[in-house]
Amino acid sequence: MSPRRRDELLVWRWSSTVTMTLMTIVGFLSFTWPFFVSSESTLATSNDAPWLFPVLVGLLCLVLVAQLSGGTMDAKSVAVLGVLAAMGGALRVLSAGTAGLEPLFFLLVLGGRVLGRAGGFLLGAFAITTGAFLTSGVGPWLPFQMFAAGWVGMGAAMLPAVRPRLERWMLTAYGLVAGLAYGAIMNLWFWPFLGSSAPSGAGFAATASLATQLQHYAVFYGLTSLGWDLPRGVLTAVLVLLACHPVLAALRRALRRAAFDAAPTFDVRTSRGTSEDFVG
Amino acid sequence: MTTAADLLSRPRLLHPVAWWIWGLLLAASATRMTNPFLLLLICAIVGCVVLQRKEVGTRNALGLFIGIALLAVVVRVAMMVLLGSSVGGRITLVTLPEVPLPHWMAGVQLGGPVMLAGLLDALYTGLQLAAVLLCVGGCNALADPRRLLRYVPATLYDAGTAIVVAMTYVPQLAEDAASVRRARRLRGHSGRGLRELAALVVPVLENSLERSISLAASMESRGYGRVTLDRSARRRATALTIIGLAGVLVGLFGLLGGPTPASLGLPVLVGGLVIAAMALMTGARRDQRTPYRRDPWGLPETLVVLSGVVPLAVVSVGLRRGWSGIVPAQVPATLPHVSVAIALALLVAAVPAVLAPRTPRRAEREDRRRLRPPTDPEQGPPISSLRRDPELSRSKA
B292 found inside a domain: no
B74 found inside a domain: yes
* DSSP result, B273-305: HHHHHHHHHTTSTT--PPPSSPPP--HHHHHHH
* pLDDT of B20: 92
Give the pLDDT confidence of A245-262 residue by residue, as tens digits. 888 988 888 888 776 666
Contacts of B95 (CB under 8 A, 6+ apart): B112, B113, B114
* pLDDT of B171: 85
Q: Are B208 and B237 in the same domain?
A: no
Per the structure, how many domains does chain A have? 1
Residue contact A47–B219, C-beta within 8 A: no
Residue contact A280–B164, C-beta within 8 A: no
Q: Exposure pattern of B241-250 as b/e (b: 16+ CB <10 Å)?
A: bbbbbbbbbb
Which stretch of DSSP H or E encloses residue B71? helix B61-83
Q: Are B207 and B261 in the same domain?
A: no
Q: How far apart are CA A38 and CA A58, in angstroms?
A: 24
| Residue B83, number of CB atoms within 10 A of its CB | 21
Per the structure, how many domains does chain B have? 3
A271 found inside a domain: no
| Residue B36, number of CB atoms within 10 A of its CB | 19
B255 found inside a domain: yes
Give the closest residue to A131 by CA, choosing from A90, A79, A97, A83.
Answer: A90
For A52-56, A60-64, B66-70, which range has the lowest pLDDT when averaged over its residues? A52-56
Which of A136, A196, A248 to probe the B interface (max B CBs under 10 A)?
Answer: A136
* Cα dihedral value B353, B355, B358, B363, nearest 10: 90
Using a CB-CB cut-off of 8 Å, the residues of chain B touching A78 are 158, 161-162, 165, 216, 219, 224-225
The share of chain A scoring above pLDDT 90, in percent, equals 15
CB A137 within 8 A of CB B62: no
Q: How far apart are CA A202 and CA B108, in angstroms?
A: 7
Q: How far apart are CA A158 and CA A249, in angstroms?
A: 19
C-alpha neighbours within 13 Å on the C-beta side of residue A5? 3
Most confident among A225-239, B68-82, B263-277, B337-351 (mean pLDDT): B337-351
3-state secondary structure of B112: strand
Q: Are B317 and B266 in the same domain?
A: no
Residue contact B132–A140, C-beta within 8 A: yes
Distances, alpha carbon B211 to alpha carbons A66, A101, A134, B65, B118, in Å: 26, 28, 21, 35, 57
* Residue predicted with more confidence, A233 or A278: A233
Give the pLDDT confidence of A197-244 residue by residue, as tens digits. 455 555 666 566 677 777 777 777 776 677 777 878 888 888 888 888
Residue contact B158–A33, C-beta within 8 A: no
* DSSP result, B194-220: HHHHHHHHHHHHHHHHHHHHHHHHHHH
Using a CB-CB cut-off of 8 Å, the residues of chain A touching B202 are 243, 246-247, 250
Q: How far apart are CA A274 and CA B304, in angstroms?
A: 61
Question: Which residues 262-281 of B are in CB contact (within 8 Å) with A?
Answer: 262, 265-266, 269, 273, 276-277, 279-280
Which residue among B76, B84, B234 sits closest to A70, beta carbon to beta carbon? Answer: B234
Q: Are B132 and B166 in the same domain?
A: no
Residue contact B65–A139, C-beta within 8 A: yes
Residue contact A83–B165, C-beta within 8 A: yes
Using a CB-CB cut-off of 8 Å, the residues of chain B touching A38 are 256-258
Chain B nearest-CA residue for A256: B213
Q: How far apart are CA A180 and CA A183, in angstroms?
A: 5
Q: Are B253 and B342 in the same domain?
A: no
Q: Are B216 and B240 in the same domain?
A: no
Q: Are B88 and B122 in the same domain?
A: yes
Which residue among A69, A136, A197 sits closest to B144, beta carbon to beta carbon? Answer: A136
Burial class (CB in 10 A: 0-12, 13-18, 19+), A97: exposed
Give the mean pLDDT of A137-162: 87
CB B52 within 8 A of CB B44: no
Give the mean pLDDT of B305-319: 91
* pLDDT of B311: 93
Give the mean pLDDT of B157-177: 87
Residue contact B140–A258, C-beta within 8 A: no
Give the gap in angstroms from C-alpha B388 to the nearest C-alpha of chain A: 31
Using a CB-CB cut-off of 8 Å, the residues of chain A touching B133 are 139-140
Phi/psi for B323 (5° steps) reads -65, 145
Which of A53, A197, A221, A261 to probe the B interface (max B CBs under 10 A)?
Answer: A197
Give the gap in angstroms from C-alpha B385 to the nearest C-alpha of chain A: 34
Q: Are B174 and B116 in the same domain?
A: no
* pLDDT of B341: 87
Give the gap in angstroms from C-alpha A210 to the nearest C-alpha of chain B: 13
3-state secondary structure of A78: helix
Q: Exposure pattern of B289-319 as b/e (b: 16+ CB <10 Å)?
A: eeeeeebeeeebbebbbebbbbbbebbeebe
Residue contact A258–B205, C-beta within 8 A: no
Residue B376 reports pLDDT greater than 60: no
Q: Exposure pattern of B200-216 as b/e (b: 16+ CB <10 Å)?
A: bbebbbbbbbebbbebb
B208 found inside a domain: yes
Q: Are B15 and B145 in the same domain?
A: yes
Q: Are B99 and B21 in the same domain?
A: yes
B291 found inside a domain: no
Give the mean pLDDT of B200-221: 86
3-state secondary structure of B115: strand
Phi/psi for A98 (5° steps) reads -80, 125
Using a CB-CB cut-off of 8 Å, the residues of chain B touching A128 are none
For A196-205, B42-51, B322-331, which range has the lowest pLDDT when averaged over its residues? A196-205
Burial class (CB in 10 A: 0-12, 13-18, 19+), B263: exposed
Confirm whether the ipTM is greater than 0.95: no
Residue contact A201–B105, C-beta within 8 A: yes
Residue type, A27: G
Question: Which residues 337-366 of B are in CB contact (within 8 Å) with A?
Answer: none
Residue B297 reports pLDDT greater than 70: yes
Q: Are B359 and B312 in the same domain?
A: yes
Mean pLDDT, all residues of chain A: 78
Most confident among B191-200, B313-322, B331-340 (mean pLDDT): B313-322
B277 found inside a domain: yes
CB A94 within 8 A of CB A42: no
> Is the Cα dihedral A117, A122, A125, A128 positive or negative?
negative
B290 found inside a domain: no
Give the gap in angstroms from C-alpha B158 to the nearest C-alpha of chain A: 7
Give the mean pLDDT of A93-105: 68
Give the pLDDT confidence of B18-29 residue by residue, as tens digits. 999 999 999 989
Which residue among A18, A83, A197 sits closest to B125, beta carbon to beta carbon? Answer: A197
Contacts of A1 (CB under 8 A, 6+ apart): A161, A162, A164, A167
Structural domain for B68, as ranges: 4-150+297-393
| Residue B82, number of CB atoms within 10 A of its CB | 17
Give the gap in angstroms from C-alpha B380 to the nearest C-alpha of chain A: 37
A6 found inside a domain: no
Q: Are B12 and B140 in the same domain?
A: yes
C-alpha neighbours within 13 Å on the C-beta side of residue A147? 29
Structural domain for A51, as ranges: 11-259
